[in-house]
Structure 1
Amino acid sequence: MRDSPHPGSTTSVSSMALIWHPPAGLLDGMGGQPLPPGVATAMAAAAAQGWADPRRLHHAGRQAGALLDAARSSIANSLSLAAGMTINSEEIYFTYGVAAAQAFALDGYPGALALSSVETTALLDLGEVRPATQIVGVDAYGRIDTEAFHRAAASAAIGALQVANTEVGTCQPIDLVAAANPELPILMDASQAIGRIPLPQGWSMLTAGARDWAGPAGVAILVVRREVRWLPPINADRGWLGGFPDIAGAVGAATALEALMNEQGTLAQRAHADIELLRAGIVSGLTDVEVLGDPAWRLPHILNFSVLYASGEALVTELDKRGFAVASGSACVADHARPSHVLAAMGAYTGGNIRISLPLGCATETVESFLKVLPSAVAAVRADI
């Protein structure tokens, strides 16, 4: 973070070793990637200085509180760049996970929820327990119809939409939904989007996890715009919701996001080119394969494809033997026995599915090497059927 509450408590992003070095063969960035060295250093310094309860009035407590305040300010500055609008530190809340952030957000809005059928399972589960919730279907790309969402929103207290689907990468028309429903508060899931693409306008609340930008696990943010009529459902001292504040985690999340925002344009362009390379190579190198999601209006670093006559889990294992880490199944369901609700909602084949999410710092050489071994891996799996 650039603004340090105490001399030596944090290190300037520009002076840190913040080059991303994902492990060789990692093509599952959504599954996590190592912390950049500069982020780890900032977290260690914060842990050494921010160990006290930030609510305490003594020196150690004030020091911890100042670190947490600085982290909120840094996140606000970074999100202002990402969203193209001014976001204040008082609008930033930290918590321990995206699902928790979404639950806290919705607690302030009893009543019906309108959401798409490709939201996370956690959000869909939250919708199930609310009366008169309406789930809006999607097209073959995984995108909602704005008119259908408008009809569903007419009787809803709040709407919920992803910036983009983290399984197939397709972006949602949040700007259009907000314009058509100006009185409807929108809870926007910005997972995998911050620092990757410009954020849409018109949202009321935003959630995201720090792991999305190579920050620490166990830290998420909830952003609530000032004009939104929302009160924290629990005590939110210094902007932390639920449990004891993780000062080091908040500092790590802020430091990692600032680093990404400094390089976002270059990284997004490189990722977009690498995904285009993958898309072309997969189609030309395999038979009986379907690449899913919108080829144009999408996240720059995510690609999903389905291989006929092959098991997704078997493909993951076979590719792992060849030194490549990929994912299969729903992006938000760990139990691989459950088919992807996203692909099912799109009407796509749910078997033989592979999801690639490029980690920050992924080299083009990794993508090229993957394309060389993919045909033999698919052939080996198909041979075992």
Structure 2
Amino acid sequence: MLNEMKVCTISKYPPYMSGHSFEALYQGKALLEMTGEKHYEVTYDQSLYEKNTNYNNSPELMSEAEQYVHVYRVLPDYRGNVKVLDGALIKAFIGQVINLISEKQINVLSTFYLDPHAYIANQVKAYAQTVLDRKIITIHKAVGSDVLNSIANHRTDGEGKFLLLQLLSGDIMLAVSQFTKEKIVEYAQDILPVRLSERIATEMRVLYAPFNNTYFMERDEEQLEAFKKKFKLPERTTIISYFGRLFPEKGVEDLLAAFRLIKYNHPETVLVIGGQGISSDSLKRYVELHALPDVIFTGMISNSEKRALMQLSSVGVIPTKPILNFVETLCVSALEYQAAGVPLVTTCVGGVTEAAGEHSLYAKHSSPDDLAEKIALVLDQKVDCQAMIDSGIKHVKQFNYYNITKMFMNYLEEYAARDNLPRVMQTT
């Protein structure tokens, strides 16, 4: 039935900027390296993304995004029946994937986010079975705080039950972290029959985010100098940095408050905040209100500039905190800082500890005083920074995109063998 694997991933994808869009990017890269051919990505048209949040269409990034997979970007059909109030975008996604499985002989649908991507894949799978008499394997990965938020906030209105149904309707259930799995099981125990919550607990596997750790280890001296020149960084300065989305749950205002404390004893420090988001303006107002010197906002920068920022930093800080049910389920930036050889200070929130490891320093969330204290331990060399760096580089190897995608393939092979299907693929 399945002589070789052809994967179509349904997810957010660059220029959307989030850890999970990069998961899809690097899964595509690994599949290309394993099979020698491009697989498929169905995602949102760029015009649908909010330009001020989670968006970066730098030529460098977009060139990389296009080279690993065949990308199909979907718009809703604006010619829809005016009597139909909703669903145009989801129907457009389903239609695009139906055409792809018919024309390209795709036999695996991989999704990141249950809401709505697992639902889209499940509908396409039903079409393949009913109309084409074909078996499509669906492999759904619960990722991101928004997935948990979607279920956690909808345990009484039926929407949470619907999302868990989409997970259960997949052939293979994955979670991006142990924390994510535990929360999914917790919600399932709350709103589903026991037999189904037990099935999720038994069958769901943890598959960490794939990322390119070797890229962040490579140094480009020209890029480092170009970054310092672009943002007017003095030669003898100590850089504290954050990179990620500028959203309330990221805790960047706590970092600004901590930096006010640090400057008294470390006047040579500069705080560089990379990224953009809905909190950008309020964070800049905080800096102006407190006349806080030596704070640089880069806005959204290219991947090579992000790497340069991290490698130039004496310490990377990710002060994430819970906002209601919105909690970090992993933290790709934590992986990137460690791969770049930078000591990491973060908070013990959600799945962050799985990304940051035991060797990183942890501050209390929402506590600028404790955050400043932990940052100062690194700046004053009161911890073994080299040991933190060495352990971090070793730790993130387990998240290497090729190794993670190989595990993804192993799960597909196990499923095919269990159901007496021919091998899914032969790697080159």
Into which bin does the TM-score normalised by the smaller protein fall?
under 0.3
Task: Choose between structure 1 and 2 for higher RCO, CA contacts under 8 A separated by at least 6 residues.
Answer: 1
